[in-house]
Every structure is written in structure tokens, then in C-alpha cells.
Structure 1
Amino acid sequence: MKSITSSSYAVHFNETAYTELNAHLKKANYSKVFILVDENTHNFCLAPFMAEIEGDYDFEIIEIEPGEIYKNIETCTQVWEVLSELDADRKSVLINVGGGVVTDLGGFVASTFKRGIDFINVPTTLLAMVDASVGGKTGVDLGALKNQVGVINQPVMVLVVSSFLQTLEERQLHSGFAEMLKHGLIQDANYWNDLKILNNFTQLDHLIHHSVTIKNKVVLEDPTEQNLRKILNYGHTLGHAVESYFLESPEHELLLHGEAIAAGMILEGFLSHKLTGLPYTELETIKKVFLSRYSKVEFSKNDITEILKLLKFDKKNSHGNINFVLLKKIGEPQIDVKVPQELLEQAFTYYKE
């Protein structure tokens, strides 16, 4: 499968990924090679990954706890301290083998350790393959608030090896699939139409490649998210608020990222119908597709009040305004849309119907 070239690095797939990694390690002459994993990827992904590395390198494995609740500065501090204790220098490299938590956090750790060392992302979840490891966004959460601290910094390369998907539960695959559906909604109606009828996850390689291509095209045009790149946040303004609320609320079960974003895309689909012209038939299709794949999230009146309070922390906000990405139609987004408070509450009513 053809590699995808971004601004300063490339995304390599399957066999080509290991060929390019080995060539790079041989050429770069790193002083030490650090590999960041969480408990899950240590158990299921590290051994097959290491088996493909050719050559004798000074490896050190760093393991963190799995899950979004550990994507924070405290975990970063632990990793920075381990790097220091193990004599990492500016000619070291950090290879992040894991899902979005590992690649986001690992990229941030590498970008800030000794003012920046090389890092390589090896996403092992569908979500990380199509979203978290592409585009140079790194960072961690601030309490329950998503991705409040971070930098945009590009990896040396990204390696997408689809065999790692065999280690995932189906719920995790569905979480990543939500981001792929989003790519169709914001850029490619034909892709959306193909994905909405997909009934199994056995042949995903070409679809992953297409999603990475869509995201890479957007990022190349707007690497620092001044305009176009904002479209990648469709469903995320409310979706991130939902995810954050469920993360910090002890009486609710945690939602995976894709599950929260799926709800967010229905909610913001309703706003799109009201404000930017999304046809009602397309809104109903969006709702039907997501609710056929993702369990409906139960929201009490108090839940909705608390979720809406979290919108003020959204990263797209400016000058006190909450800015939404909405759809004019499937495949055609509109950025920086202001939404009246009463419509936000109506969106939850529509979602619950």
C-alpha cells in the first residue's frame, strides 16, 4: 500500500512500515531507542513489533497505565523522569506503540524533553490509526478537560500496521470507526455512503488508507488549525464535552472517544439542520446510522446542564464565543458557526427522541 507523504514525514503501511523503520534506525544512529507502551500494548503488541526490528540497538521499554484517565501531566512527569534516569539525550528517539493516549502523550513528552527529541508513532488502535497519530497534535488532558495542554509537532514517521487491530475488542473498533464516518461527513459523501453499509471489520486496509488520506489533505492545507483543519472537529465540540463529563462523573460509565463523538455528530447534525441548511433527510440518515452502531447515551436534565457548561473549554473558542463546525450537506462543512443556547438544548431533545 502506497505511503502517504505529509509536510515533513510519511505514513507507512504494513510491510513497508517495518522496511522504512529499519532503514531510518540504521541511518539515524540514535544514542538510545525508547519504546513507550501501556499495559495492553506491552502484552499484545510489543513482541511482534520488536520481532520486526533489524539490528542491535540500545532499547529501553517504558510502560504507562492504560486509559484516558492517565493521559495527564502526572504521567508525563513519570515518563520524563524515567528518560532522565535512563540517560536519554537529545539524540535519543521515543517510539510510541499504542492507541491515542500513548501517541498523544508520547508525542508531547518527546516534544518537550530536552526541548525536543525525535518520536515515531505506531498506532495500534483503529482510532489512533485514522486520527490520533496523524497531523502532529500532541498533548494531555487537564483534569477531565480533553487535550488542554499540548503542542503541534510532527513525528519522524507514522507506521500503520493493521494486524494490530486483531488484538482489539469490537467496541474499540467501533470507537475508531466513528472517526472514519466523520471523515465521510466532512469531506467525502461517497465514502460516507460506503461506510454506512459496511457490516464487518475484516477488510479495513483500503478504508484506513482513505481516511488517512482525507485527514492528511486537510492538515497539509492548514497545519496549525487556523481555518480548514477545524472541520476535523465536527461532532467534537459537544462530543468532547460529553466525553469529559462522563470521564469525571462517578455515577456514569466511561464512554470511549468514538462513542461520545458519535453522539456529538448527531447533536451537531441537528444544529446543522437548524443553522446551515443540512437537509432533514440527511439529518435523519446520520441519526439512524450512528444509533444503529452505537448505544444511545442516556442524559438527564442535570447531565445536559453540566455538559453545556464544559463548552467554554473547547479549543476552537475565541473572544468568548463557542465556535461549531456544522454541515451544509453531507460532505460539505462550515466552520465558526455560533449557536444559540436554546438550540443546544433542543439538540439533546432531538437526540433523545
Structure 2
Amino acid sequence: MWPTALSRRLGIDHPLVVAPMAGGPTTPALVAASSEAGALGSFAGGYLAPEAIRAAIRDVRARTRRPFAVNLFVPEPAAAPPGEEELRAAAAALEPIGRELGVALRPRLAAPPDFAGQLAVVKEERVPVFSFTFGALPAEEVAALHALGIAVLGSATTVEEARALEASGVDAVVAQGAEAGGHRGTFAGPFERGLVGTLALVPQVVDAVKVPVVAAGGIMDGRGVVAALALGAAAAQLGTAFLATPESGASALHKREVLAPRGGSDPTRLTRAYSGKLVRGFATRFMVDVERAGAILPYPHQNALTGELRQAAARQERADLASMWAGQGVALARARPAGELVRELMAEAERVAARLCER
């Protein structure tokens, strides 16, 4: 359907990217099934050790020969770690939730991920596509990836960020609208400046850069795919739409929440309570209680501090405390195998486009 310059560059059949969803939802099975159906499946490796990423890449390759992407988190500028007093205050704010879940908190600072090691695996394995978020990769690194035949995509939440990514040499910019589930990719300025909706952000980025643009945020069906292309995007990226697929590694609780009847209301909100970085997920009491206490560490230290609580809440199926990321289009989610969902999305887009041509 409608090949674009980007779909041809990436070697995929459809202008459709299945978003990398870190923390569990993205599995090699989901990546491979999406790619086999003609989309670009994306494996989220940001939280994983280098050898775990290598194992996942090889698992994907055992399942498909089609192109796929690996996504990593670009390290943010180093900041002074929180002091002992800040750490104690953040732990005290979480202590009531820990007692409720039967978890004894172990206050500790987060160890930085081995980004150099992660990126080395991407290069050694020569994955077809590399994508990144939380920053701009240095131009020399982008050039090194290109020398290995790897296409490179970076995420932006503002026009300024998109221009910075283009200057680094990326093949495409993923424009992440405020509707998107998961962490915000803002890196050039305060998060508030990066809360532009997809409908407004995408055409501005398209006009500002010469490289192809991928629209992300709130896209759930064929109508959204057509709308993204009409705005000038070369592809649409969907994440929440694939959370409830059987190949997704999201918990059973998370999948039930995704598919629950909504009655027209938006069940999501933005918070820093879970990780210290702004993230969109299902609204919970955890968010309210932690924000009210007012002691939240910066990312990634809050993320490390709440890790055991989030895992326990998922095991105990506590929807009021668990961290379950989702975008604002979640009410449109459906339970389909990933490959079937890709084909359904493209068939819907074809029908929508045909109706528009008839008007």
C-alpha cells in the first residue's frame, strides 16, 4: 500500500512502524510477526544488558528475514545524583505503598545503562534499522551506523529537536505527539514544550526538515494511518494498538485494562511518579499518592526506586498501583494477532482512502 521513500529505504511493504515498547510489551515474537506482515517491528532494548539485546536480535532473526529495528535510549547529560536526604524523602513517600504490597523498599541510586555496549551489539549484529530516543546521537555515530548499512531513526517532540536530529544525519525523524503512550522523548528544553499534539506537530516537522517523518501518538486504526500520511508523514508509528496482541509481553492485567470499555473518557494521564521522567499511562492511585507526597527523584533514579513496587503490583494485579503505559487512543484497541492487526490496519486505510477519493 502506498510505498513511500521511507518504506522503500527500510525495505518494508507498508508505511507502518510498530513502536518499541520497553519494559515488557515488546517481545521478539511481536517484532517478528509485525515485520513478517510487512510493517517494521521494533525491539525495545533500552533497559537490557548488551548480551540480552544480542539474544533478542538473534531470536527475531530466527523468526523472520524481514527488516526490523532495535531501539535504545541515548544517555542524557550527566547530572549530580540525588543526595542522601532526597533519596530518603523519595523512599518515605513510597513506603505506604510498599507496606500495602508487602515490599520492603531498598533505597538506591540507578546504575547508568551500558549504552556503549548496547550500541556495539547493534553494530556487530548489523541490524537493519536502529532507532533511538531521549536525545540526539552524535553525527559520527550516525555515520558509523550508515557505514554498516544500518538505517537510523531518531525521536523528536518539537521542531527544534527534529532539526537537531536531521543535522546529525538520521534517515528519518519520528515526531512523537503528546497523545503517545510511554515516556516522552523530549531532550531539547523542558517537557512542557514537548507536549504538542500529533495533528499540530507532524506538519510542522515535515515543513522544517528534508528527511522523511514518521508520525507517532494516538494512531490506532486505518483512519489514523491515512491522516498521518495526509499530514505529510512518510509512515505512521503505532504502539498502544499492539499492546493487547497475543505476541505482546504486556501483563494480563495490562491487556485487560487496554481492552476495558471506556465510555468515551480518556483513562490516561501524564506523570513523573513512576520513573522521574514524564510518561503517559493509565491513571492510578499510585500517581496521585506519590505526586501528593511531592518527593520524586529524577530519572532514572525514581525508576530504580519504584521497580520492585511496580513488579509486585503487576503480580498482585493491582490496577490502582501498577505502571501500565498507554496512549490516548487506547479506547480503539482490539485483540488481534500482530500480523493480522497489521493487515487489518492496512485494509482499513485502503477503504478510508477510497472513500475520500469518492467525495
The answer, yes or no, to whether TM exceeds 0.5 is no
Larger RCO (CA within 8 A; separation ≥ 6):
2
Query: Which structure has the highest helix share of the two?
Result: 1
